[in-house]
Structure 1
Amino acid sequence: MRTLTTAVALCCGASLAASAAPAFAATTATPASAHVSHQRYRNPVLVDCQNQSTVRPTALIIACGDGNSRLESLHWTRWGPNGARGEGVNVVNDCKPYCAAGTFHSYPVVVRLANTQPWKNRGQGAVFTQMTLTYPGERPSVYQQSVTLPLGR
């Protein structure tokens, strides 16, 4: 009888250990899943005029309402949670005598993206919320040599 009691106790103990293993595994999985969600923030996105996410775009409309300012031929040398840097061309309408009759001009530009924040519209990842355009040479007459613009989120 004592052998039977010992066997039952061992089986119950093994059964409890087996059933506790998934619960333990679930509690240890939390840091791993937290690590996965942290991974999403490692590659922030830029949100375009259609509220679509993009990473290292080659072109981007800046003036969403009328398209009178856009970035083209973008080449990115850095892209990460601490910011992004690229170079390209800012194509801007001079709106002379008015925008519909204006002429588009191209200006070399250095683009810096900064200030990553959680992307509220998608509930995951991070989005750049600030863009700085720096013109190494000629620039649009209505712009300073360096212009910082807020970006939508």
Structure 2
Amino acid sequence: MDATGDNPTPRSPHTPTRLQARTGILLSAATALIATAVPASATPPTATPTPNPTPVVVDCFNKPQTRPEEYLLACGDGNNRLVDLHWNTWNHKTATATGTDMVNDCRPYCAAGRFHPYPVTVTLSHPQPWPNHPNTQRFTTIRLLYTHTTPTPVPKDVTYKLVYDSPDTP
């Protein structure tokens, strides 16, 4: 009945009652509240990680280095190492430095030998993905260009592969 006491106005079967309208409003508000309460971490990430644009050089101990002051070339016996490295460039393709190659003459044998300095230009190149280190590139080639004399019997310009892939230890 309406306020006058007369019969209520006939209602279409598609017209909601006040109770139905209130329920719909409350459900909409609850849905909006739940949607804002869900943490952002629940949504899957859309961006993929980008690789480190600057490669590293991996040392004998399987550690990444960037612009090292020293670099051990002879991992087994330590009889050849680069020292006093001054890096001119280090980018996504190459790295170039000047320094000194300290080489043991092993005379009369390596334990009794003496180290001799040889000025050198060092170039790292050919970056490749570093196995088991996602998003990290590592230089795989080293070139030594001796600017004066060379250690016997090494040529004035020599290139080596850098492949120190010992298994990682936890």
Larger Cα-atom Rg: 2
Unaligned runs of 5+ in 1: none
User: Which is strand-richer, 1 or 2?
Assistant: 1
Cα distance in 1 for residues equivalent to 2:69 and 2:80: 15
Cα distance in 1 for residues equivalent to 2:114 and 2:27: 88
* Superimposed CA distance per residue, residues 20-74 of structure 1 (whole angstroms, 9 cap, x where no aligned partner): 8848x834x431xx2xx325x2232211112222211101110111111110000
Percent identity of equivalent pairs: 38
| Residue 7 (structure 1) aligned with residue 25 (structure 2) | yes
Taking a change above 3 Å as real, the CA distance of residues 98 and 119 of structure 1, as seen in their structure-2 partners, is same
Taking a change above 3 Å as real, the CA distance of residues 13 and 123 of structure 1, as seen in their structure-2 partners, is closer
Specify which of 23, 46, 56 is matched with residue 30 of structure 1: 46
Taking a change above 3 Å as real, the CA distance of residues 21 and 150 of structure 1, as seen in their structure-2 partners, is same
User: How many Å apart are 1:17 and its aligned residue?
Assistant: 4.9
TM-score with structure 1 setting the length: 0.79
- SS of residue paired to 1:30: coil
CA RMSD, Structure 1 to Structure 2 (Å): 2.5
Taking a change above 3 Å as real, the CA distance of residues 128 and 10 of structure 1, as seen in their structure-2 partners, is same
User: How many Å apart are 1:12 and its aligned residue?
Assistant: 5.3
Number of equivalenced pairs: 146
* Superimposed CA distance per residue, residues 76-98 of structure 1 (whole angstroms, 9 cap, x where no aligned partner): 11112212111100011222343
- Which residue in 2 is equivalent to 1:112? 123
Unaligned runs of 5+ in 2: 1-17, 166-170
